[in-house]
Amino acid sequence: QVQLVESGGGLVHPGGSLKLSCTAPGSIFSGFNMGWYRQAPEKPRELVALITSGGVTNYADSVKGRFTISRDNAKNTIDLQMNNLKPEDTAVYYCNARLGVFDYWGKGTLVTVSS
């Protein structure tokens, strides 16, 4: 069973920063498109940011200019640098790896933005 492991969540004040990391098995990482999704209470899961196997990125409008996704193919990791965090960014953040019919998820890490 493929396991994606997220880390880096926590409590931060509005305007603060956090960096999330996700580690994937080397057997799937290099060819997969990777992404971060989030789910706030009583809301559907939504895309935050994507990075393709070739390094092309895409962001939700709500995070453009504040969040940056990156991948390190040598370490089988993706990061999500989150700056200028807002209370509405509070959610459980999930790492995703996808290629065709193959679709894997991490268990999520909680980010809470509150004063």
Write the pLDDT tens digit of every residue in 39-95.
999 999 999 999 999 999 999 999 999 999 999 988 999 999 999 999 999 999 999
pLDDT attached to residue 1: 76
**Distance from C-alpha of 43 to C-alpha of 15, rounded to nearest angstrom:** 23
pLDDT attached to residue 30: 80
Please report which confidence band the pLDDT of residue 2 belongs to, taking 50, 70 and 90 as the band edges: confident
Residue 27 has pLDDT above 80, yes or no: no
Q: What secondary structure does DSSP assign to 27-67, as a single string?
A: HHHTTSEEEEEEE-TTS--EEEEEE-TT--EEE-TTTTTTE
| Backbone φ, ψ for residue 89 (5° rounding) | -85, -5
Beta-sheet pairing, 57-59 with 46-51:
antiparallel
**Distance from C-alpha of 10 to C-alpha of 72, rounded to nearest angstrom:** 23
**Distance from C-alpha of 49 to C-alpha of 14, rounded to nearest angstrom:** 20
